Structures are given as structure tokens and as C-alpha cells.
Amino acid sequence: MTLRYSSVLLLVLLACSGPGAAQTAGAYRWIHSASLDVRESQSPNSKLLHKMGQGQRLVLLRSVGAQCEVREGDTPGRPQPPGFAPPLKGWAPCANLAAQPLPMPDERWVASGPLLVRTQAAADAPVQARLQQGSRVQLITPGPEEGYCEVGFGGFYSPAPDSQRGFVACRFLSPRWVATARAGEAGVPAERRWVAGAGVLLRAAAQPQAEVLARLPLNTEMNLRIQPAPDASYCAVQTQIPTQPPQDGFVACKLLARSPVAPERIGVRAWERWGAQESNPEYNPRQLFALEPSWDWMAHYETQQGHLCEGAHCPPRDPDFETERGRMRQALHGQMIAEREPPPPLRSLAELDGNEWTSQGPPDFPRQGPLAAARMKAFLAALPLQTPAPSWFRSEAELASPATPLAQLAERFNAQQRWYVGALLNPQEWAEARIERLTKPLVRVELFSDGRVRAQSQLPQKVRREWRPDVDYMCDDWPGEGFAFGDMDAATAKRNGWQAPSASPRRLFWFYSSRPLTSAAKALGGAERVALKREQHGFTRLELRRFDLDGDGQPDLLWAEATGRAAGPLDGPPKHDDPWLRLLFVNLAGQWKLLGSDVMSYGCGC
């Protein structure tokens, strides 16, 4: 098929389902006229209830002569949940309604599938997706008929990251609605089926232990050799792969579909069309989870089934919901995460530009304003960091800051990640939590105010108690007042009205390492205090502590805590000074590098 905007199939569909076509109760209808008057009765002189705009979608209730009774709403046939205002209902001329959406100027439909989406406008560019016939895309950059067009797909008219973009052959795009391919319709053989899963097994016999002939990818085309019984477990099929000879075998009937599975459609809840949000009747997070298990699709499925809904207005829940959610959790529990990310290189003192811990604000506030970066640069220059001799750490691959994401830890320490379901791992502590954990233990090194250094083996993990992608959380992952990677002193807590810390020695900082420490690890001497000038440095004083991890007398770590006026809570900076910034430098092969920083938090919210 090489026609750009039309085909025999498309012409037939337009002829049979345009304005004035037979009206089917319970179906969607779209307003194709410039506007639509919805009236109280069939009479054109009856009370005007509402004037609706072009392109909006309605549900057809019934038709009487030239008049159609319609209502606002989403899925045809689904009752309005109790507790909501009843949807608008009235009568309008059937001639102004059509069975297909009115195309928007930049809206296109895939005329023939699967349509390859490439990363660049070239025939040899990598393929990033395959779009099925009938899928809608947003035309971003038009191209010549025999060339490539840039399109957005997946989250059409939706905010990122739902939407994706790529390049497709322009000749396979239609400016009018195109029906989805379906067995027994519009020239598609009635016996045609598509594989509705990934890696579906084609077996030599209709038995679960039969020889596996092939693993079939999603949407592999095949024909039924015989019509299966309604309760059949396996279907006799023959593959219809264009580049391969037909192959007979048996496939689990529940994994066959009468239409191709289109992830770009079933993963979108709604589109913005003609100034209104139009729900997607094909939205199916349960099926997407089966194709690609993820926490996001499980959360969307739970939301769709009313798991987050409370009260009488909630929609009816799938009777198999709890069973299905249990299967989803089991599928996620212990699943390997194929995600790695190179960590950024550690920076030396000269590579810090002074903007790392500044913010905008009044110029008289030392941490803010136009002089903030200059003050911070002067503060960094005032740090007494004499060039050390090479000692314990020789490579960045041996350590990481506590703020390092798990994907970067996996890359740095050549490890893997796994997902765990809190309810299956530790229900009392992490009942509804999402847990990501490294498979390789690392050494967690902690520095204390009494000079001690403690090291213990630990599996780095991230516990997310608030992780649903469809909920806007406030203060996600906030550690509380004080420091994220250490403890504040009692005087600071009292000064700010916070709960006093324990009387035991404070933890100053911690980090990850791949090297077990020796028993000689300890602080080198006591704390060193340096006076600073607020106008010049933005701070009034500095406290330093050096730590030797291998007993050779050379400093391996330098901890610095700066005191000055902090940003404070939302109502403004406090009147007093606080030790609000901590830095940890590492002696890396004879050069000081910044390993991590910790800024004191005064609260979260708005």
C-alpha cells in the first residue's frame, strides 16, 4: 500500500460511516458542524440546553427520524458514577454528527501498519517503535510525499514524558480517520489473528509440555487452521510472516487477538482535542503491564479500577482486581532492572564555579543575590586544602556519594538492580513501598564527631513510599529537618525549635566504597576552626576534620562545615547563623575532589 491519503479501505469506511450514516445506540459520535445546538426535545423550537463546539465527542442514546438523542460522557453504555452531576443530555440533528473524529489540522492516522518510527529521517536509521493501522499521531514537521515526516505519538497532545517523537514515511499517513485492522472486517480474513503477548510460544501440539517450535514476538500475524471451541486452551494456527514460510503449530488461545495490539494507543488515557479532553476507550494498563511489567502500569491499573477511590462515587471494581494485582506484584518482586547511567566525574576545587549552593533572593542575604556566586567562590578559595600525598583512594571507581542514584551505582560498581514489593519483602515496615535494591553489597563508611570511622556491608536501596506516577506528591523523599547524610548538633536543633538529637556522637557524613577499611581508620587530630568574613565569604566560620583511613598519616577525607545565614524556611531566612553547608572532599591519587555535599533543610511544603 503506497497511497498517502486514501485507499479502498479508507474510502469504504468514509462512505459507510460519515454524517447521515446509520445510527447505532451506545456508539460515539463527533460534531462535524461548526457548532451544535442541543435541545430539550426533538422539536427544533424546544428549549436550547447547550451550544457545543465543533469536534467534541458525544454518546448516541437513540435516533428518531432526523433527530438524535445524545449525552456527554466517556465510555458508551457505562453508567454515570453516583455522586457526580448527571451528564448533559438532549436532542440534536443527526446530520451534524459523524461516526469518526473530526481531524484537527495537525492530526494524522496511520493508513497501513505496522509503520516504522525511526530516530532520524533516513531509511537506515534505527527503529524506535512500530505503529499499528488506525493509530493517531501528531504531525510535527511535514515532509514530501515520498520522504519522511516528523510525528509525535504515544501521548498525543499529552505532556512529556508520555509523548514520543520520531520520523515515519509520509505516504503512510492519512489526514482522515482510519479504522483499526480487525479480523473479518474491511477485507481482513475472518481467520486472521495477532499474537497479543511478547515471546509467545508456538508448540508442536496442543499441550503445555509440547515441543517449542518458535517464540513469537508481539503482533505476529497468523491464521486459525480450524475454529476453536469456546473453552479451548490451544488454537491450531499457521504463521503468516512475510519473510518466512508458513509454519503450523499451536498457541494458547488467550494470547491471540482479533486486532493488532497497539501500545501507542492502549497506554494513553486521554487526548486534548478541539479544546476538550477526550478519553481513550482503548486505554488498557492491564494489557500493557502484561507486555512490559512496571510499577507505573500497575499503578495506572489500580487507579483505573478505583483502588485510590473512596466513597459511593467510585466506579465498580473489576471482580478479579485483587487477584490480578497480586499477580502483578509477584511479577515485579525481584525483577531485574536493566538501567545503568554513567556517574558524573568528581570535580576538583578549581572546577567548582561557585553556583552549586546559591539561590536567587535579596542582595543583602549572603547566600543569595548577584554576589552569591562570588562569595561562594571566595569561600572555596579559603578552604585550607594543601596538596596531599597519594594515599588510600586511587580511582573514582572505588567510591560514591550517598546521593548517587542506584543506576549510577550499578554502573560504577558493575552491579545490577532489582525491584522489590514492600508488602512481599517486609509488610510491617514497607507495606505499600516500592523498593529498588542493588544486587551487590558495598561498604558504607560513616564518619563521626568523636573521630571514629565505622564501616559496614550494605545493599544500597531506594525505598519509595510515594511512587505513583498519577499522584502529585509534595515533599517526596524529604528526609526531615536537618541534614540528609548526617546529624545536626543539639544547639542548632534548639535554636530552630526542633527535636533535640541523641547525646551520642554525631554522624557527620557517610559514603559508599568498594574497599573494606582497615582497623586503623580514624580522624587525624581534632577539629580545626577557621574564621571567615560574612561580606567576603558569605559565612562567618568554618569547621574542618581530616580522616585517615589506612593509618599512613595522610588525610584521605576532609569534612568541612560552614556556618552563616541559611535560606531558612518558606517564610524567610532566620535571624541567626546556622551551620547549614557540609562538604566532603576525598584525596584521590594526591588531588582533592569534592565527593558530596549536604545542605540543611528547614522544612518542606507550601
Q: Supply 177's cell numbers.
A: 480517520
pTM of the model: 0.73
19-98 and 192-257, same CATH topology? yes
Query: Quick one: which of 511, 343, 462, 335 has its CA closest to 411?
Result: 343
Q: Supply 571's cell numbers.
A: 517564610
**Which residue in this structure is represented by grid cell 515533599?**
475
Q: Supply 358's cell numbers.
A: 546559591
Neighbouring-strand partners of residue 594: 347, 585
CB 176 within 8 A of CB 10: yes
Mean pLDDT of 254-282: 86
Query: Quick one: which of 525, 448, 526 has its CA closest to 487?
Result: 448
Give SS3 for 195.
strand
Q: Hey, what CATH topology would domain 19-98 get?
A: SH3 type barrels. (2.30.30)
pLDDT tens sequence across 544-574: 999 999 999 999 999 999 999 887 777 777 8
Contacts 24+ apart (CB under 8 A), 531-536: 532/379, 532/382, 532/562, 532/564, 534/366, 534/564, 534/565, 535/366, 536/375, 536/378
pLDDT tens sequence across 433-467: 889 999 999 999 999 999 999 999 999 999 888 77
CB 58 within 8 A of CB 97: yes
Whether residue 131 is predicted with pLDDT greater than 60 in this model: the reply is: yes
Q: How far lies 72's CA from each of 17, 20, 275, in Å? A: 21, 20, 15
Distance CA 32, CA 79 (A): 26
Buried b (16+ CB within 10 A) or exposed e, 5-17: eebebbeebbeeb
Is the CATH number of domain 192-257 2.30.30.40? Answer: yes
pLDDT tens sequence across 85-118: 667 899 999 999 999 898 988 999 999 989 999 9
| pLDDT computed for residue 450 by the predictor | 93
Query: What are the domain boundaries of the chain?
Result: 19-98, 192-257, 347-396+442-599
Residues, the chain: 606
| pLDDT computed for residue 75 by the predictor | 55
Query: Quick one: which of 72, 470, 28, 462 has its CA closest to 282?
Result: 28
| pLDDT computed for residue 520 by the predictor | 84
Distance CA 96, CA 330 (A): 50
> Looking at 68-72, 73-77, 98-102, which range is the least confident one?
73-77
| pLDDT computed for residue 355 by the predictor | 74
pLDDT tens sequence across 299-338: 888 888 776 555 555 556 667 888 888 899 999 999 988 8
pLDDT tens sequence across 380-426: 888 988 899 999 999 999 999 999 999 999 999 999 999 999 888 88
pLDDT tens sequence across 476-512: 777 888 899 999 999 998 998 898 888 889 999 999 9
Query: Quick one: which of 244, 14, 282, 252 has its CA closest to 136?
Result: 282
Sign of CA dihedral 72, 75, 79, 81: negative
Residues 6+ apart with CB under 8 A from 496: 481, 574, 578, 602
Identify the band that residue 283 occupies on the pLDDT scale cut at 50, 70 and 90.
confident
Contacts 24+ apart (CB under 8 A), 308-316: 308/468, 308/471, 311/83, 312/82, 312/83, 313/81, 313/82, 313/83, 313/84, 314/81, 315/78, 315/81
